[in-house]
């Protein structure tokens, strides 16, 4: 046989077997070394051997969860050719069915050689008993919170919600995932939120959560959800109007107000916000949301418009807020507040009650600007001046009068007309000088507008002459010049040598064309 290694020795022994002694005999003997019979490996799947496997250790145990129904035992011999049986079946691997929870199933593994030597390994498979954990690990509700706060050993809870809440979401989580659970009799999944509808406002809804442990022991948690009764809050939180303001100022307990608006206001915007957002509200019978503005058309000028804001609480009670809007009558003010003309001055000075005015301007003025402001901003200006209140009026020729009409129409339709007669003076015939001077020296005779000829004695090499027209619109030419609108002209006149005379002439032509000439004779004496 392969597993016996033999060293042979041959002995010859002669034994004498005598009644009184020995006799010789001959025998043949052999010595052999036999390896130990054992396993090379042993595993249980699922499971872990306790202690860890060793070929010389024959007793093991494996602890298994209570939900394991079978395991696979695998054993390999240390010496090839040795046989293995598992619970009497010749195999190196086989499934082993387990008993009920809490029981132990023995497994015998026998390894042997040639049927002479063998070794038995025993594995005790212990299936855990069913747990009695029927607790929740957590319990939450939304909206919430639970009262008291959650504890696994506290079985009764309450939660209060607003009357507007129609359902709550409940999330129960098992402490033992192998336990089972129902919520209000319906199977539930651990950690999964459930929506629970609530009864009407003012009523309670009872929620039961039953946890059944693996061993069948139940535990029931109870949540009582109380839905608040419908509120009786029918107050307004705020009330505003635009344009205008409430009189007196808004107060939730005050229900009557008045508002005054101008005659040109045709509608008013009312904005009301309820104190309880769940309350309902109407403005003049039309349903609006809290804070939603509504425009109300007003009656004719001088009339009152009633506005009613009705708030209906959740419980059906109502409160009305009343606003009386007084629309002013249209103004009859058709006066001008101011009236000016440029250039020129009104005669008489402006007064709202004075309707006719005159203005005289120089003949050279070709237009005037009239500016008018209304006493009532809502009145309308028309005529030669537009509603903007300003117009530039072109004038006719010199010596003519232009009548300007300004009509003011009050908001109520009453009309008043102002007139301004603008007279453009005819061309002047004034061709006089108002002043005439020389430097250095002096005129002889002294200056007079009616004196046209003058003498001056001067030893200077030049003479500065300054002449001022009596009519600024006249034209001055000659030795000294000044155009229309320039009142004074000045010129420096060079003089001849000693013993000579120099003639200086200044011609003044009036706006109407008439002219006259002033002459200055300058004598320069000998040295």
pLDDT given at position 341: 98
In a domain, 293, yes or no: yes
In a domain, 187, yes or no: yes
Q: In a 10 Å sphere around its CB, with 0-12 CB exposed, 13-18 middle and 19+ buried, how is residue 425 labelled?
A: middle
Which CATH number goes with the domain that contains 222?
A: 2.60.40
Same structural domain, 372 and 405: yes
Domain finish residue from 371, 400, 424: 424
Domain finish residue from 227, 252, 281: 227
List C-alpha distances in Å: 397 to 279, 393, 400.
78, 13, 6
pLDDT given at position 234: 94
| pTM above threshold 0.75 | no
Buried b (16+ CB within 10 A) or exposed e, 108-140: ebbbbbeeeeebebebebbbeebbebbbbeebe
Same structural domain, 143 and 200: yes
Domain finish residue from 327, 349, 369: 327
Instruction: List, as one string, the DSSP characters of 284-313.
Output: TTEEE-TT-EEEEE--STT-EEEEEEEEE-
Same structural domain, 308 and 255: yes
* Domain range for 437: 433-523
Query: Cis peptide leading into 464, omega within 30 of 0?
Result: no
Same structural domain, 245 and 168: no
What are the 10-residue block averages of pLDDT along the chain, 527 residues in total?
Answer: 31 26 34 72 97 96 93 96 95 96 95 87 94 94 94 96 92 95 96 95 95 94 93 94 97 96 93 94 97 96 96 93 95 96 97 97 93 95 96 95 97 95 94 98 97 96 97 95 95 94 97 96 90
Question: Distance (Å, rounded) from C-alpha 264 to C-alpha 241?
Answer: 16
pLDDT given at position 181: 98
By DSSP bridging, strand 453-457 and strand 515-523 are: parallel
Same structural domain, 406 and 444: no
Is residue 170 a contact partner of residue 191, using CB atoms and an 8 Å limit?
A: no
pLDDT given at position 231: 83
Same structural domain, 157 and 219: yes
Same structural domain, 201 and 244: no
Which tokens is 419 given? Answer: 């007139």
pLDDT given at position 480: 98
Total count of domains within the chain: 4
Question: Distance (Å, rounded) from C-alpha 501 to C-alpha 101?
Answer: 157
CA atoms within 13 A on the CB side of 412: 13
């Amino acid at each position: 046989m392969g597993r016996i290694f033999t060293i042979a020795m041959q002995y010859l022994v002669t034994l004498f077997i005598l009644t009184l002694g020995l006799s010789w005999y001959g025998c043949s003997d052999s010595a052999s070394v036999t390896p130990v019979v054992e396993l090379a490996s042993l595993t249980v799947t699922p499971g872990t051997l306790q202690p860890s496997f060793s070929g010389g250790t024959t007793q093991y145990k494996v602890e298994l969860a209570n939900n394991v129904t079978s395991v696979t035992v695998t054993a390999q011999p240390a010496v090839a050719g040795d046989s293995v049986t598992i619970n009497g079946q010749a195999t190196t691997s086989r499934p082993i069915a387990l008993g009920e929870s809490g029981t132990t199933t023995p497994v015998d593994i026998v390894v042997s050689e040639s049927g002479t030597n063998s070794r038995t390994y025993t594995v005790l498979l212990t299936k855990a008993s069913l747990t009695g954990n029927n607790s929740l690990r957590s319990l939450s509700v939304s909206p919430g919170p639970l009262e008291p706060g959650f504890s696994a050993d506290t079985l009764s809870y309450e939660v209060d919600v607003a009357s507007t809440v129609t359902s709550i979401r409940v999330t129960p989580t098992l402490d033992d995932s192998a336990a089972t659970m129902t919520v209000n009799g319906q199977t539930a999944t651990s950690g999964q939120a459930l929506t629970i509808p609530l009864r009407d406002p003012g009523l309670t809804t009872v929620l039961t959560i039953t946890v059944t442990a693996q061993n069948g022991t139940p535990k029931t948690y109870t949540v009582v959800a109380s839905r608040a009764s419908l509120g009786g809050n029918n107050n307004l939180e705020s009330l505003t109007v635009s344009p205008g303001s409430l009189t007196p100022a808004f107060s939730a307990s005050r229900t009557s107000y008045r508002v005054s608006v101008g005659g040109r206001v045709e509608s008013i915007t009312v904005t009301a916000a309820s104190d309880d957002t769940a309350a309902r509200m109407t403005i003049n019978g039309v349903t609006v949301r809290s804070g939603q503005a509504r425009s109300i058309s007003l009656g004719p000028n001088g009339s009152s418009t009633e506005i009613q804001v009705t708030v209906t609480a959740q419980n059906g009670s109502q409160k009305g807020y009343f606003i009386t809007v007084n629309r002013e009558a249209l103004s009859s003010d058709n006066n001008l507040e101011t009236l000016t003309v440029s250039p020129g001055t009104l005669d008489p000075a402006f007064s709202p009650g004075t309707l006719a005015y005159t203005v005289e301007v120089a003949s050279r003025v070709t237009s005037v600007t009239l500016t008018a402001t209304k006493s009532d901003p809502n009145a309308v200006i028309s005529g030669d001046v537009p509603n903007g209140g300003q117009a530039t009026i072109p004038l006719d020729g010199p010596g003519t009068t232009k009548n300007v009409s300004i009509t003011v129409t009050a908001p109520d339709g009453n009309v008043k007309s102002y007139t301004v007669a603008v007279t453009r003076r005819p061309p002047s015939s004034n061709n006089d000088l108002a002043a005439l001077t020389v430097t250095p020296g002096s005129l002889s005779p002294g200056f007079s507008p009616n004196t046209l000829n003058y003498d001056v004695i001067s030893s200077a090499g030049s003479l500065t002459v300054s002449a001022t027209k009596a009519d600024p619109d006249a034209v001055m030419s000659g030795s000294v010049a000044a155009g229309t609108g320039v009142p004074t002209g000045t010129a420096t006149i060079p003089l001849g040598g000693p013993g000579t005379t120099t003639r200086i002439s200044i011609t003044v032509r009036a706006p109407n064309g008439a002219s006259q000439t002033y002459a200055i004779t300058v004598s320069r004496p000998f040295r």
